[in-house]
Amino acid sequence: MANNFTASFEEVWGREQQEVFYKKNLAMEMADSSHNSAMSKGDTLNRTYRSSVSVQAYTRGSEITIDDNSDTNEQLTVNREFATGMYIDNFDQIQGKYNIAANYGKDYGEALANQVDADVLGEVVNADSALSAVTLSTSNVLAMFSGAKKELRRNNISSNNLSAIISPDVESILIQYGAGRDTSMGDRINKEGYFGKFQGFECYVSNQLAGSAVLGLATQPTDGDTITVDGITFTFVSTIGTTAGNVLIGANVDATRASLAALIAAPSTTTATGVALSETNARKVANTWTGTDDATADTLSFVCNGVGVLEVSTDLTDETDAFSSILQHNVFGVSKKMTTLVMQSSPKVQAKEVPNKLGKNMLNSVLYGVKTFGDNAKQMVDAPINAASL
């Protein structure tokens, strides 16, 4: 008979929970937040711009034509509202080895900050200038930086206070190119995602850049065909069923594609043509995705904020239907001028007693608005790279 001493084996618990690695938030390097103090009240920021003017030839003694000019208003609405919440029982807090409120409070706070950051970095699609997408290498990385500066100068932007928010992929190419960062910058790198200066741009590294892709869907899918975007699978079915992400195959491919677009637009809602996603996936889609159906081109375009690299795949009967133009959108422009961010309520935790329970709800929320005004757009350049090979 074998010995068995397992009842006497000691179990050891780490003094701290495993470390959580958070994304670096760089919204404030990109966005103009100077209006925050003026918007402690109200929900709309108004900014006007003047009409364009031109000169006229003058003949001596003749009348000068008097131009009619007008101002046009643009508005930023503070309407981005997000919150988190969890219940913590007093006894769980007492008997738990780790500080539940502090640890999860930090996680939820970072999640809200990431949402703001993703929204701000996603404004790059509204840039006035966009470079042609490239498969990045050491041979063309310099052209990306010089091209961004050229586009800014073409928009008469003379500022030298320039910054670039680049991906870890671009960072890797820069290091290979020979623009390795100075080790004396280490503390700043760790805290702010700062890489260093290259070609006149202060470079910051972010894993929250927007990703985009175009699904070509010109052929009617067959029952069981799927597409996957950012880890979420959508299944085309002939009978709607109850499985999350099911999309009903319509009378024709245009109807099917429109049903997919409708589910993306309202991912928490089950309809006759689409089954709601799980709560976690529905939040992701509602908070960070947009899907645009183009019946003329037989495409559905996706923009997903905060993904870094957008992962997409298809399992369609017609293999000519597939994703193309899979891009990662790096951001170049004038520091703190590329878009406008109004933060009326930054992420903050509130503890609220729960009636008839021995515990508290830990609530966290954020209220803000983001808009790229006309002058912001001229000070920003979209520098996409082909992400399929990353």
Rounded to an integer, the average pLDDT of 98-120 is 93
- Give pLDDT, residue 185: 43
Output the average pLDDT for the chain: 92
- Give pLDDT, residue 184: 44
Residue 191: pLDDT over 80: no
Confidence class of residue 274 from pLDDT cuts 50, 70 and 90? Answer: very high
Q: Residue for token digits 């350049």? A: 381
Supply φ then ψ for residue 169, to 5 degrees.
-70, -45
Q: How far apart are CA 372 and CA 124, in angstroms?
A: 9
Q: pLDDT tens, 1-37?
A: 688 868 878 888 888 888 888 888 888 899 999 999 8
Q: How far apart are CA 199 and CA 159, in angstroms?
A: 14
Q: How far apart are CA 288 and CA 291, in angstroms?
A: 10
Domains in the chain: boundaries: 23-43+72-207+331-390, 210-330
Q: Locate 73 and state its tokens.
A: 């208003």
- Give pLDDT, residue 192: 62
How far is residue 27 from each of residues 66, 205, 228, 291, measured CA to CA in Å?
44, 12, 28, 23
- Give pLDDT, residue 243: 98
Q: Of the given ranges (156-165, 171-180, 206-215, 364-373), which has the lowest mean pLDDT?
A: 171-180
Q: pLDDT tens, 326-361?
A: 999 999 999 999 999 999 999 888 899 999 999 999
Q: How far apart are CA 304 and CA 287, in angstroms?
A: 9
How far is residue 121 from each of residues 19, 81, 124, 336, 337, measured CA to CA in Å?
26, 17, 6, 12, 12
What does DSSP say about strands 232-237 and 246-248: parallel, antiparallel, or unpaired?
A: parallel
For residue 213, what are the β-bridge partners?
302
How far is residue 194 from each of residues 147, 245, 349, measured CA to CA in Å?
22, 39, 28
Confidence class of residue 179 from pLDDT cuts 50, 70 and 90? Answer: low
Q: Spelled out in words, what is the top-level CATH class assigned to the domain 210-330?
A: alpha beta
CB 341 within 8 A of CB 91: no
- Give pLDDT, residue 183: 45
CB 383 within 8 A of CB 114: no
For residue 252, what are the β-bridge partners?
none
- Give pLDDT, residue 180: 54
Rounded to an integer, the average pLDDT of 92-106 is 90
Range 246-251 contact pairs with CB under 8 angstroms and sequence separation of 24 or more? 246/274, 246/275, 247/273, 247/274, 247/275, 248/272, 248/273, 248/274, 249/220, 249/221, 249/222, 249/223
Rounded to an integer, the average pLDDT of 309-324 is 96
